[in-house]
Homo-oligomer: A and B are copies of this chain.
Amino acid sequence: MHFASDNAGPVHPGVMEALAAANQGHAPAYGGDDLSARSVARIREVFEAPRAEVFLVASGTAANAILLASLAQPWATVFAAETAHIHEDECGATEFMSGGSKITLVGGEHGKLDAGALAETITGLGGRGVHGVAPGPVSVTNVTERGTLYTAREIAAIAAVARAAGVPLHMDGARFANAVAALGCTPAEITWRAGVDALSLGATKNGCLGAEALVVFDPALAGEVERRRMRAGHLLSKHRFLAAQFLAWFEADLWLDLAARANAAAARLTRGLRERPEVAFRHEPQANMLFVDMPRALHRHLIARGAVYNLWSGRLDGDDDDEPLTARLVCDWSTTDAEIDAFLDLF
């Protein structure tokens, strides 16, 4: 009954085998090996983007911060939703990597940035000349931090606003596979075809050990990435082991298979919880994460029985048993029906 996070889950055996298979004698360090070259080619293929520049790192925060620092001048501000991981959960990594840029929060609902609000926010920044910060990249997260999805059409609307303002569009794809699987689209359709210029492609949460790709669709925007990755200590010497993860992940669409399993598990969990009257959904679950309100006493009961998940608001030890506290429940590729059913049986 582990619903704490998809980054607490196991690595898929196919990925572990690929690591072992990659461990054959010597190979050039720092990405000069064959597997690394093949992983880049594979990502280009998957995204139907032969000119994309691709760089691998081991953490999602690194992917986001290196990309945004490469897209934003130090005196720019990045536009993001209030719930954005770059704003709330990366300890100021983007501000640090970029040399002091800002993040300007843009309104929207259910973890999504609203295109109209974005346009207004950008306009509102204007008129201060050199005294204000400059408009910088827009960053959207898909799957969002609230378990909801942007459709290709919604992304295109945001991209249109970004383009009109002359700023690039970044996507934090920590759960990108879950988005593709849920939307039933191609990777290209919700990235460059919809106007995304650069993607943080996360594999860690979906069956890998630690592997994220920086995919820059417009190579003209990639000029700073390599140096920034190096000087932030993110160019791994035994780079073949990053590459091997991605190659295994894309093999026979494993990535989409794993994402679909996680999404299906979350759907099963959603169906079960809908039948519990004490449970209220804060957002309509669309991928592999649920945000639900339940009374404090119920949380205590579930956790005492061994359920593992995080409270998104409030504390277990309050006085009021009936006070609703929000929980985040995340499924990953390894979540079983039995596990879900055991959890639901606790109610």
Please give the residue numbers on chain A whose beta carbons come within 8 Å of chain B beta carbons, in ascending order: 2, 4-5, 7-11, 13, 16, 19-20, 23-30, 57-66, 73-75, 77, 88-93, 95-103, 128, 130-134, 204-205, 209-210, 224, 226-228, 230-238, 241, 308, 334
Instruction: Assess A100 versus B92: contact at CB under 8 Å? Given A62-B233, A233-B232, A237-B59.
Output: yes
Among candidates B9, B23, B90, residue contacting A11 with C-beta atoms closer than 8 Å: B23
The 9 closest A-B pairs by CB, nearest first: A62-B233, A7-B237, A96-B100, A2-B26, A61-B233, A95-B100, A99-B99, A91-B231, A91-B230
Cα–Cα distance between A191 and B35 once the two chains are bound (Å): 38
**Integer count of this chain's copies in the complex:** 4
Chain B residues with Cβ below 8 Å from A205 are 237
Closest chain B CB from A200 CB (angstroms): 11
Query: B91 near A101 (CB under 8 angstroms)?
Result: no
B230/A130 in contact, CB under 8 A: yes
Q: How far is the CA of A102 from the CA of B103 in the complex (A)?
A: 8
Whether B11 contacts A27 by the Cβ 8 Å rule is no
Specify which of B11, B89, B237 is in contact with A210 (CB 8 Å cutoff): B237
Choice from B88, B100, B128, B308 contacting A26 with Cβ under 8 Å: B308
The closest CB in chain B to the CB of A87 belongs to B102
Scoring A4, A8, A88 by chain B CB atoms within 10 A of each residue's CB, the highest score goes to A8
> Which residues of the other chain, B, contact A58 by a CB distance below 8 angstroms?
58, 210, 236
A238 to B334, CA, bound (A): 15
Task: Quote the shortest CB–CB distance from A285 to chain B (angstroms).
Answer: 20
Extra contacts besides A73-B227, A232-B233 (13): CB < 8 Å: A4-B28, A8-B237, A19-B19, A60-B233, A88-B128, A90-B131, A90-B233, A91-B131, A91-B132, A100-B100, A131-B230, A204-B238, A210-B236
> Which chain B residue has the least Cβ–Cβ distance from A10?
B23
Closest to A227 in B: B75
Contact between A236 and B59, CB atoms less than 8 A apart: yes
Question: Quick check: A231 and B25 within 8 Å, CB to CB?
Answer: no
Nearest Cβ on chain B to A184's Cβ, whole angstroms: 28
A76 to chain B, nearest CB (A): 8
Given contacts A100-B96, A237-B59, whether A75 and B231 have CB atoms under 8 Å apart is: yes
- The interface residues of chain B lying within 8 Å CB-to-CB of A224 are 73
Contact A25 B334 (CB under 8 A): yes
Q: Which residues of B contact A11 (CB under 8 A)?
A: 23, 238, 241
CA A28 to CA B10, docked complex, whole Å: 11
A132 to B226, CA, bound (A): 12
Q: Whole-angstrom distance between the alpha carbons of A60 and B134 in the complex?
A: 20
26 contacts between A and B (CB under 8 A): A2-B25, A2-B26, A4-B28, A4-B29, A7-B238, A11-B23, A11-B238, A16-B19, A16-B20, A20-B20, A58-B210, A61-B233, A75-B91, A75-B92, A89-B131, A90-B231, A91-B131, A91-B133, A91-B230, A92-B101, A92-B102, A96-B232, A99-B100, A130-B227, A204-B238, A210-B241
Contact of A29 among B5, B10, B30 (CB under 8 A): B5
- Chain B residues near A97 (CB-CB < 8 A): 100, 232-233
Residues of B within 8 A of A89 (CB): 128, 131-132
